[in-house]
Amino acid sequence: MKHWIAGLAIMILVVSCQSTKEEFSGLTPMTHEQLKQKYVPGTKVRFTNMRGINGTTEYGENRSIQLIMDNGYSDKGVYSIEGNKFCSTYSSTYNGAKRCGTIYDVGNGRFRALNEKDEEEYRNLKWVK
């Protein structure tokens, strides 16, 4: 029984990864210039993380970023645009590690992001300011 459950879990994981890659395969990632135009001081972005928690990121001078989650969690850090990737480093989120990802325009003013492992990290990104 344990082997059957483990096998099923692996199959679900593989199928979910494949569906994400298939879902994004027809989309074009944002370019370096598009990212530079979107991420400017004073910008706010609303999003939903993969745990279903909504949050806001606010972008300030000197590449500063503030993360405010609807569940009360918050953090500060810096961001950069490297090639066609958006990168962020927070004080404690992800243990302070730099994370980079690709952002895709999915239409209707909504965007989704894949991390460096091609796993969906955020959905329903929307620039609100």
The owner of tokens 């990632």 is 29
Portion of the chain with pLDDT greater than 90, in percent = 56
pLDDT band at 20 (very low <50, low <70, confident <90, very high): low
> How far does Cα 123 stand from its chain's mean position?
7
What mean pLDDT, rounded, does the chain reach? 83
Longest dimension (CA), the chain: 56
Long-range contacts of 95-104 (CB under 8 A, 24+ apart): 102/29, 102/30, 103/29, 103/30, 103/35, 104/24, 104/27, 104/28, 104/29, 104/30
- Domain 28-127 of CATH type 1.10.357: no
Q: Kindly indicate the confidence band of residue 21, based on its pLDDT and cuts at 50, 70 and 90.
A: low
Segment 20-48 shows an average pLDDT of 88
Q: Residue 109 has what pLDDT?
A: 84
Name, of 3-17, 61-75, 107-121, the range with top average pLDDT: 61-75
Q: Per-residue pLDDT tens for 77-104?
A: 999 999 999 999 999 998 999 999 999 9
CB proximity list for 117: less than 8 A, separation 6 or greater: none
Output the CA torsion sign for 118, 122, 124, 128.
Answer: negative
d(Cα 29, Cα 113) in Å, to the nearest integer?
9
